[in-house]
Amino acid sequence: MIDNQGRIKGRVSIIDILIVLAVVALVAGFIYRQASPHIDAILTPDAEFQITFEVNRIRSVIAEDAIVVGEYVFRQHNRQPIGRIVSVERQPATDIMMRSDGTALLATMDDRYMLHITIEATGTVSESGIAVNGNDRMAAGTEVALINRRFIFPLARVYSVDWVERVENGDE
């Protein structure tokens, strides 16, 4: 089937077949690359967000004094800033309490608060979500440990992530 000169049935060389396959692979790769979305369409760098974290059962001393609007909040594991605190909402904390007869009751906890801490952050939007500090994904339900020079919240849950629209000067 293959002769002394490397041809199949005396007509086509194996090298010719490999060259044709390489050209076909290059053309297929070029077409795939042109058909896929460009990276500019996938990523939106330096977008501004307001991330609201929910922290529950916080003692009143910390809830009233330790959280200061304007200060920065950091991720605990890498000490990278997430963003700046822009607002804090305090509500009495509630919990499910069991009565002696076996029924459950939603009761307000004395000296405890549930906090909604809103932070303004800069991140990157992609098809897989929002990333702050490169690879810290922020989505509703994500649990994050937050620190500040005044507090440590080991279990803060992302409550919401909202896109902040930038208003350009002169566009009124």
Quick: pLDDT tens for 51-76: 999 999 999 888 888 899 999 998 77
**What is the C-alpha separation between 130 and 168, in angstroms, rounded?**
23
pLDDT of residue 172: 45
Give the rounded percent of residues in the chain with a pLDDT score beyond 90.
Answer: 28
pLDDT of residue 162: 86
Reported as a pLDDT band with limits 50, 70 and 90, residue 35 is: low
Q: Among residues 107, 91, 104, 96, which one has the least CA distance to residue 54?
A: 91
Q: What's the DSSP call for residue 9?
A: T
Q: pLDDT at residue 45 above 90?
A: no
pLDDT of residue 51: 92
Phi and psi for 38 in degrees, rounded to 5? Answer: -75, 155
